[in-house]
């Protein structure tokens, strides 16, 4: 008997686990596999609806009583850097950007381990080995690039970003940098340079991942102008950060079946009606 894979994406929910952003809470994710000929179209469609990619999976927070995590992106055409961000750009003008196919190197992994040990020693990626790192970089069914920033003075690798190329923007999947150069604000510089990359490509958005009000880890995203947040199924300009609540409520999240029913799939993978 011949079996074939379903043409419509199947969605699943992870088991609850401790939230990495807000203490004392449990997180849960809605996710689907990203594979096959329609992977690019599915990634484009779901990224516009608050999903993020991790290797061959697209996911979105779907916690039972919390909706604090909000997908964030920058409107490139309306972005103007602050004085501090302009200083950051000048301070890092000697960095050389190189974009390449998603291929992991020993130099990248060494910088990655240094970054994790310094900044996220107790995080979910703390025990990642070189093989898992290679999988994170290389296992992608869509158009992905590794953006490296090398110090032209010393020749050392200073920052790396794994970046997806979408039909309406660039998505910063994961970035890491030399933690000893904290004064250079390399994380901020990588975002500023991705805004330039999007401009060069004629793309309107830079996708930043999730912003979580009340989480110090995510506070840097509020320092950029022209940020939009995905809220109640639509993108809207970000208001003052204290306008967003982190309070839990059992009715703050729609039932899983309703969430899935409201996902807009690309025509090539959408079920017939």
Q: 3-state secondary structure string, the chain?
A: CCCCCCCCCCEEECCCEECCCCCCCEECEEEEECCCCCHHHHHHHHHCCCCEEECCEEEEECCCCCCCCEEEEEEHHHCCCCHHHHHHHHHCCCEEEEEECCCCCHHHHHHHHHHHHHHCCCCCCCCCCHHHHHHHHHCCCCCEEEEEEEECCCCCEEEEEEEEECCCEEEEEEEEECHHHHHHCHHHHHHHHHHHHHHHHCCCEEEEEEECCCCHHHHHHHHCCCEEEEECCEEEECCCHHHCCCCCCCCCCCCHHHHHHCCCCCCCCCCCC
What is the token pair recorded at 27? Answer: 């997180």
Q: Is residue 267 part of a domain?
A: no
Over residues 190-218, the pLDDT tens digits come to 999 999 999 999 999 999 999 998 888 78
The more confidently predicted of residues 37 and 145 is 145
Distant-in-sequence, close-in-space partners of 100: CB < 8 Å, separation ≥ 6: 145, 146, 148
The Cα 180–Cα 125 span in angstroms is: 20
Q: Is residue 64 located within the same domain as residue 187?
A: no
148 plus 161 within the same structural domain: yes
Percent of the chain with pLDDT over 70: 92
Predicted confidence (pLDDT) per residue in 23-68, tens digit: 889 999 999 999 888 999 999 999 999 999 999 999 999 988 888 8
154 shares its domain with 236: yes
CATH of residue 212's domain is 3.40.630.30
128 and 251 co-located in one domain: no
Tell me if 107 is assigned to some domain.
Answer: yes
146 and 231 together in one domain: yes
Q: Are residues 216 and 255 in the same domain?
A: no
- Asked, for residue 6, whether it belongs to a domain, the answer is no
Q: Are residues 18 and 98 in the same domain?
A: no
- Quick check: is 187 in a domain? yes
Nearest Cα to 165, choosing from 71, 33, 54, 43? 43
pLDDT digits (tens, 9 = 90+) for 85-136: 999 999 999 999 999 999 999 999 999 999 988 876 566 676 789 999 999 9
Structural domain span for residue 38 = 11-69+245-261
What pLDDT shows up at residue 106? 96
48 plus 129 within the same structural domain = no
Kindly report the pTM of this predicted structure: 0.91
Cβ proximity of 159 and 115 under 8 Å: no
Same domain, 60 and 80: no
Quick check: is 272 in a domain? no
Residues 6+ apart with CB under 8 A from 228: 72, 73, 74, 75, 205, 235, 236, 237, 238
Regarding whether 256 and 185 lie in a shared domain, the answer is: no
For residue 241, what pLDDT is reported?
Answer: 84
């Amino acid at each position: 008997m011949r079996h074939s894979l379903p043409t419509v994406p199947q969605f699943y929910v992870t088991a609850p686990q401790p939230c990495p952003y807000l203490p004392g809470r449990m997180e849960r994710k809605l996710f689907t596999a990203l594979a096959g000929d329609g992977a690019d179209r599915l990634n484009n469609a779901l990224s516009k609806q608050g999903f993020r990619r991790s290797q061959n999976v697209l996911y979105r927070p779907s916690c039972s009583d919390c909706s604090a995590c909000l997908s964030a992106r920058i409107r490139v055409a309306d972005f103007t850097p602050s004085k501090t961000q302009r200083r950051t750009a000048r301070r890092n003008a000697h960095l050389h950007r190189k974009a390449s196919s998603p291929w992991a190197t020993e130099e990248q992994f060494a910088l990655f381990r240094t970054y994790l040990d310094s900044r996220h020693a107790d995080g979910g990626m703390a025990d990642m080995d070189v093989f898992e790192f290679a999988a994170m970089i290389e296992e992608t069914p869509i158009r992905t690039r590794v953006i490296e920033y090398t110090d032209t003075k010393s020749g050392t690798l200073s920052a790396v970003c794994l970046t997806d190329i979408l039909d309406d923007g660039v998505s910063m999947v994961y970035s890491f940098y030399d933690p000893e150069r904290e004064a250079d604000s390399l994380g901020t510089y990588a975002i500023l340079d991705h805004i330039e990359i999007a401009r060069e490509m004629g793309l309107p958005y830079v996708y930043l991942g999730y912003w979580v009000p009340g989480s110090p880890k995510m506070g840097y995203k509020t320092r950029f102008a022209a940020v939009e947040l995905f809220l109640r199924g639509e993108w809207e300009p970000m208001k003052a950060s204290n306008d967003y609540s982190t309070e839990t409520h059992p009715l703050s999240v729609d039932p899983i079946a309703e969430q899935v029913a409201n996902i807009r799939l690309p025509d090539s993978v959408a079920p017939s009606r």
